[in-house]
Amino acid sequence: MIKRIATFLIGTGLMFGGFIVPVHAATVMVPRKIDGLWVAKGTENQWPIAVMIDNHTDARPQSGLQNASIVYETLAEGGIPRFMAIYADANVKVVGPVRSTRPYFVQFAAELNAAMAHAGGSPDGLKKLMSLKMLSLEGISGKYAKLFYRAYGGGVHGLYTNMTALYKALKATPLGKIKPLYQNWKFGDGAALANRPNGKHGTTIDLGYGASYVAEYRYDKKQDKYLRFTGGKVLVDRQSKKQVAVRNVIIMNVPKEKVLDKKGRLDINVIGKGTAYLLKGGTVEKITWTKKNDRARTMFYDAKTKQEVTLTRGNTWVEVVPAGHKYTVY
């Protein structure tokens, strides 16, 4: 494994560029397990925490999506899309609005052995959470409710939390005494600026609930990231006021959703295998996906070579698109 060394310019004794630069200590940098980013050794394998995030028009702008290592987006009640953001960083101060969970989101979180922060859930979602014996950080009632608070108007679209508090609670559980185990994805460096493509590249995804919920990612060559738009508007972080930018976008084709009851609760099958697309570095790759069971990692492979794909270091957003919904890649 390649190691990088970062130095803090305090103390004494390091020769750099012909000069003696004062240095106190050297920090070994290693790839973070969940997203491949270079982090200080000792922080590369934090327990993942999955947080259910609202995507209703009344919930925007959301907080903390940019800081997540992985974000899943797919349908919830009546076809309104919802996010599940997965974190490995205890320093994110505002995350939300927090909403309820669903069984298919739980299945994605389970493959990382993640704790789940949520505000209730569908009966099937809560049943799945309990059957898999995952740490449930419930935001409405129980001992963890104190880690959540109402803000920005409160109400159903106003429940927030912060990762510092969630990690402190997690470390007080049996999980705090063991290291998380899950199958890694592969990560590598992105292309140099001169090797990145010109022109327009990206994807538009319409999950069917109307123009306000159409997701779009537009490639920015300079940043080597995809800029996120929702409903034709820039998706910004409430705290930073900056547009959300994504290194890797995966479009995961799954079977058509099933409506379970009069409230419009859905079942989406994310176990099995299927086709997908990977957008990274301004390119589009046809890939496949496989997930063998609730706890098995969803893995992605090149459609031609059958080899596991390599993602660019950084955040990955997975768009789970049931059959019958429209998208374009360009």
The CATH number of the domain covering residues in 186-329: 3.50.90.10
pLDDT of the residue at 208: 86
Give percent of the chain above pLDDT 90: 86
pLDDT band at 260 (very low <50, low <70, confident <90, very high): confident
pTM (2 d.p.): 0.92
Check whether 323 has a pLDDT greater than 80. Answer: yes
Count CB-CB contacts under 10 A for residue 68: 29
pLDDT of the residue at 25: 63
Give percent of the chain above pLDDT 70: 92
In 3-state terms the chain splits into helix, strand, coil percentages (rounded to 5) of 15, 40, 45
Q: Where are the domains of the chain?
A: 4-31, 49-177, 186-329
Residue 33 CB partners (closer than 8 Å, separation 6+): 44, 45, 88, 184
The amino acid that residue 139 corresponds to is G
Domain 49-177: CATH superfamily, name plus number: YerB-like (3.50.90.10)
Give the residue-averaged pLDDT of 190-211: 96
First to last CA, the chain: 35
Q: Which residue has the tokens 């609930």?
A: 209
pLDDT of the residue at 10: 37
pLDDT band at 18 (very low <50, low <70, confident <90, very high): low
Same fold, 49-177 and 186-329: yes
3-state secondary structure of 321: strand
Q: What is the mean pLDDT of the chain?
A: 93
